[in-house]
Structure formats: structure tokens, C-alpha cells
Amino acid sequence: MQRTLVHERVKVAVPEGFTRFDIARRLQGAKVCAAKAFIEATADPPCSRRSHHRGVGEGYLFPATYELALDAEPSQVVTG
């Protein structure tokens, strides 16, 4: 019998006007990823270019509610 690993998920709201620093604090508070790691991932040009979120390179994500895994890799959060 093969087991499937299930990651606990949490919903995180990103209001309009949040900077990547605001988002980083919110993600850390929700236990998605460390704020510093998220900031570093959003500053990584290859990671930012792969993102399908509008303007992540400028430090913004679409205002929306995202369902994210707890303890996610910051690069996966950025690229969605």
C-alpha cells in the first residue's frame, strides 16, 4: 500500500496595495514560509520571471486569497 503525503493548507488573503514585505509578514504569520526567504525569492530574477502573478518582480501579487501549503518553499509560493 502506497501512502500519499498530504500537506496541510491555509488560506492567505493579499489585499490590494500590499508590498512584498507586507506579504512576507503575512505568509510568515500564517506559517507558509519565512518572511526573509520569501523576500529573497521575490528578489531572484529567474524566479520572478517564471511567476505568472502580475508584477511579482515589482513586489506585488494580485489581490486575492491564495490557498497555500504550510511550510512551503518560497520559490513555489512566488511562482504559484
Among 8, 75, 68, smallest CA distance to 32 is for: 68
DSSP string, 13-78: EE-TT--HHHHHHHHHHTTSS-HHHHHHHHH-HHHHHH--STTGGGT---SEEEEEETT--HHHHH
The answer for residues whose C-beta is within 8 angstroms of residue 76's C-beta and 6 or more apart is: none
- Once rounded to an integer, what is the mean pLDDT over residues 20-31? 95
The answer to whether 60 touches 19, Cβ cutoff 8 Å, is yes
- The pLDDT score that the predictor gives to residue 1 is 60
10 or 5, greater pLDDT: 10
Give 27-78 pLDDT, tens digit per residue: 999 999 999 999 999 886 655 444 444 444 444 467 899 999 999 999 888 8
